[in-house]
Every structure is written in C-alpha cells, then in structure tokens.
Structure 1
C-alpha cells in the first residue's frame, strides 16, 4: 500500500466518521437493545464457563455467539456504556471499509475505481442501522470477518505455496468466525466461486477444489436454522412451520 492508497483510505475514514458521528448522540433503543445488551446476563462475564455457555446453541434463541462475546468485552471495559458500544460498532465498520478498498484495489488494480466504490459503500444510507443501532453489532462484526476471508483468499489463499496455505487456512477460519457472528455470511463460498471464474481461468479447477471445505461448513448454519425454528423436533416456535422457519432465517 503506497501513499495514494493511504490518502484515499484516510479520506474515506474521515468522511465516514463525520457522517456517522451522529450516532454518539443517540441512546439505546427499546427494540432488542434491552434483551441483547442492557438486561442480558450472558454478557456480564468473560469467564470460560460463560463463554462456553454463549457458544452453546439454545433452542428458540438466536445463535450469534461472537456478537455476544463482543458485547461481553464492551461490558468488561465500560459496562453498558452506549458510547463504548457505538464506538466499537464504528471501528468495526471502518475495518469493513478498509478491507473493501483492499479487495477492490486488488481485483481491479484501479485506485480511482476502488476509491469511489468504497466511498459509496462507506456512506450508503443502508448501513446506518448496522452501525448506529447497538443491537446490529452482528452486521459489522460478521462483515469484518467476511471481508477478511475474501482478502486473504484472493491474495494467495488459493495457491499451494507455504505462504498461500497459511492464507488459505486463515481465510477458512475467518469464514467460520463470520458465520458465528451472523449466519447469512454463509454466502461467502458462492462469492469465492464467482471470483474463481473472474480471477484466473487457467487455475479454475484448483480454485474450485479449494472451495470444497468452505461449502461443507455451510451445512452448520442450515442445520441450526432448522433447529432454532423447531422444524427438526416438530415443536415449532411460533406454532407454524413456515413462520418459524422464516423467523429463524432472519
């Protein structure tokens, strides 16, 4: 990364912080914030027993353990301080932005394109909820792991060299972490599949083979959605299999 890249990223960061600084003036919302943060006993401790409890799926409860662990870290630092929680969200969002720029610059090798697309990503209104709303931590947290997995994969994670293997393993680990933050990141293997056709056609078969473990890990979120909705046990959470399944996917 040279001086131009650093300048572009710093400029986007400054614009993002300026636009999203309004979030510091907000407080907690009555929707989800009390249950996930303010009155949630699961985030009151970083003990091994509590972390294991967070990592254990419970029927009828959302399973985003890394989100809860991140709240537990916030609580250990400053209790239920909205400022700290929002700052954490914003920092994670900046990580997302940084990775998006790196990925675009790598794929297209055009700084101007990377700058404008990343700026649109950073300042798009659709991301306001994910950053400003305390309970939307799962979006920026899973996004950071999601983009890290992509960045590592396209910068050598699909090569057989020693360095490439480490990037491949780290890419896979970050993919798993993204799923543990939010199950919708299970789409990552399909993104990498598209990139396999985009990057280098000569190595397409090898790239496809490397994606097999990524696709295998997608079985877990599908199983959990069925478990959470009660489909596997026929004890539907909302009395109706279709409503229960759609609610679990959300």
Structure 2
C-alpha cells in the first residue's frame, strides 16, 4: 500500500508540475466561441438545451453533427466557479490530466509490475504531445473522454477478475459519459475487447462464450447512445456538411497520419497546432513506413501472445485501436492535430517502459527507473516550454505560421487573431495571402469579408461572401452571414432568401430557424414566423429565448 501511494504521488507531481505555467495563458481560438461567447454555459437552466443541442451550435459552418454535451457542462461548472478567469479552466484541464495519468498507472498495473507501470504513467504524464489536449482549454473533450474510458475499462477488467456484476454494471455508465464527452469514444468496444483478451487470455481460451457475452453490454451502450442522440438532437453519427475524400485517398492519408503520429511520439521536437498532409501516392515513404509498422504490430502481437507478455499485447493493441479515429477525422479533411494522440499514447509509453525495463539485464536493477525519470524530466522541460506557445491566440497563431508558413488554415487563424486584437490591416494581409495560396477556400473568403465589413467596405464584404458561396454550395454558413448582412441593412426580402437557403441546406440548427423567423416577423408574415420558431423549438425545446419569441408571435396573431 505504501509503495502504491508513493507511486501515485510521483505520477501526480509529474503530471501537474510541468503544466503549472499554463495557468497564466488566456483563452485561445475555439475557447472564444465555446466559453466567452457561449451564453448557454452561463445559466444552469440551460442544461436541458445543452443535452438536446449540437456541440458546435454557435458555429453553423462547423461540423455541427458533433455531440459533446458533457464538455459544455464542464465549462458551465467552470463558469459558475471562475466566471471568465482562464486560470480556473486551466486548473480543471490539468486536474483531469493528473487523474488520467493516475488511471493510466492503475491500468498498466493490470498487465505488468508496479515499477514498469510507474515508468509508463510518468512518461504519459509529461509527454509534450499532450499539451494541445491539456493546455488548450477546448481540448477538454480528449481529457474527459479518456477519463471515463480509462475508469470504465478498469471497472470492466476488475469484473473480469472478480466476477462481480456490480463492477460490470458500473463500467457501462462510464462508457456513456465518454460518448457524451467526444464522439470518437465509439472505439471503446474494441479497446475493451483487446484489453480483456490481453488481461485474461486463459479465460478466453477456456470459456470464450462467457467472455464474448461480457462484450454485449458495451455494444448495447453504443447503440443506445446513438439512438438517443438521433432522437434527442436530431443528428446522426456520421453526417457532416463536408465532402469526404475518395476511398483510396482516405486509405493512403490514414496510413500517412499513422507514421506522423509515431514520429511525433518518438521525437516531440516539431510540435505545432496543425500538421497538414496533402494527397499522397501509395509509394510515399510515410505510407510505406506505416504499412511496415502495421505488419510489425501484427507480428509483435503474435510474438507477445506466444511468449505470454500481456503488457506488450495490451500496449500494441491499445495504440493501434486508439488511432482508428484518424479515419473519421481525415474524412472531415481536418489536418492532423496532436490532441488526437492523447489516448493512444498510453499504449505507446507502456511499450517504451517495457523496452527501458529490459535494460536491467545489463545494468543495475534500478537503472531503468532512474533513466525513465531522467527522460521524463527532459520531456517535461519540452512540455513546459511548449505551454508558452499557447499563451493566447496570437502567440499560437504566429507559432503555427512559423511552422507552416504556406498553410491557408494557419493564415486564417492568424488573421482572426489579428482581428480580435484590432489589427485589421494585418488581418487583411493574412487573409489575402491565404487566398493567394487557396483561392477557393470559403473560410478565408468569409474571414476577409468580415474584415471588410469591419472596415466599412460593404461592397467588398458582399463580394467575398458571394465567393464563399461559389466555393462551397453545400455549406450554409455563408448564406447565414449574407442573410445577417442584408438584415442589418433592412433588406428583408434578400435576408429571408439567404436564411431560407441556409435552413434548406442545414435544417438542424435552431439558430437558423430563429433568424428566418425574425426575417418573416419583420415583414409581417406572422404565420411563417410561427412555423420557423416551432421548428427551432423542436431542435432546442428548452430554449427560453425561443419560447419567449413564440409567445410574442402568438400574442400578435390574436385577433
């Protein structure tokens, strides 16, 4: 017991110590939309609406099919405690990271010795690739998802060891909460299966039917969650407004991403927010390397099973399965983000710990542990330094541009940062440079239009809004912006036209229906306004604002 407490204290200290300087960082990028500008988190009476709304509700142009109510609830709790003091939100993120590092220690102890579990969990606690998930407040989805997945997996494995149904039943709500935190938690049945096989190989050989039956509960949870999501929020598991790459491109890009992930874990020196990877051929070196790594992983699993090494079996399978969400993200054409590697990195650091422990064949028995602690301090120093890059949106934007000077997305983010800091000419320059590299990028056109609108260049703003429409005819965001532009200028017919088109293209947003209702109301079309408000309430049935607007319309329709 004393050894366990010491190990927990060491892991917690390493996990917290190298993130202390993040408490001085400000809100960055999506934090503005999800926290500062998100009035839903400011009142607990909005809790029902949070659970019946898409996560990216404020950003119609984002993949609004994403459903992460627990992240919003955590921001709501933060706001109640800290209001808009960033250090409080950072404290919550670091606390979850400390908890995850401790859970990682206990999970590794299922498969290996306490010393190796300590080595692996310390490396997990300090690895610099985690700064995006920990230091970036909006990266909390990864932290929450990992917390509930790790906790649920431990309960599930304890049931397998003790044959305790209460533990088994207690693990299922944890998986529900993981799914409420981030959609990629859908991989948890595969993670559980691999963890269970690695922990109890003899049970799978002797009683495969009972072990297989234990997997039905997690599958039931997954199906029930997606059914509830569809009924409550009106969205499906996979829908999004973006076009997916072809199957061959998808496959090749996924392979390339695997090599990039492994490279960042092995050599965390070129860390930055965006890691774009364009189209590649099957002959690309990184693609070939990924294929070789997958073959090596398969051979390693077979060798670990034959030599009875459950830790290696668990580490390899957890890492490979944990990378499966890359398939989903690449389908959304999103550049590789370091936060995605948070959960699968647990398998990687366990394999590293096993490798370091093997050195005791030729060195004193305590040497691997001290070597691991020295490596952890070095990695922690990189993490401490990396935290400074996330000081504010300007700092991280400039860092992203320095790493990828010709990345249109990095230029757009930097331009938006300049906009927030009031430097409109520099923002315009960033957007123009981005359009020079990607003339059809709708996000750059929208951002440049916003800059022109701020400068009073209304004609130029409309021109770029129109260009955004040409670039992506299926995206509703540009239609919504144009609707607001004409609404502000009192051109109600044009506003109604663009709001109607936005609703047609994306009918899942209560905000779009509400704006269309406003355009109808201002024109005196009360019946149409009532129809749109009722449609908005079907999407967000607990919105007090929508209810009040509907009552106003109904009172005006009374004879």
Is contact 1:46-1:72 (8 Å) kept? yes
Partner of 2:2: 3
Correspondence 1:42 to 2:40: yes
Distance 1:4 1:102 in 2: 13
Distance 1:166 1:137 in 2: 29
Correspondence 1:105 to 2:109: yes
Correspondence 1:191 to 2:187: no
Is contact 2:15-2:97 (8 Å) kept? no
Partner of 2:125: 122
Correspondences of 1:86-105 after superposition (within 5 Å): 86-105=90-109
Select which of 51, 54, 67 maps to 2:47. 51
TM-score (norm 2): 0.39
Moved more, 128-137 or 9-18: 9-18
Correspondences of 1:1-250 after superposition (within 5 Å): 2-29=1-28, 31-47=29-45, 50-58=46-54, 60=64, 62-108=66-112, 110-156=113-159, 160=163, 164-204=164-204, 205=208, 206-219=210-223, 220-221=225-226, 227=235, 231=239, 237-238=241-242, 240=243, 246-247=331-332
Query: 1:247 deviation in Å?
Result: 3.1
Distance 1:79 1:87 in 2: 13
Q: 1:90 to 1:83 in 2, by over 3 A?
A: same
Distance 1:185 1:174 in 2: 11
Query: 1:46 deviation in Å?
Result: 1.5
Query: 1:202 deviation in Å?
Result: 4.0
Listed as ranges, the gaps of 5+ residues in structure 2 are: 58-63, 247-327, 335-339, 341-559
Distance 1:104 1:150 in 2: 11
Structure (1 or 2) with the larger CA radius of gyration: 2
Q: 1:210 to 1:228 in 2, by over 3 A?
A: closer
Query: 1:201 deviation in Å?
Result: 3.3
Computed over aligned residues only, the root mean square deviation of the Cα atoms, in angstroms, reads 2.8
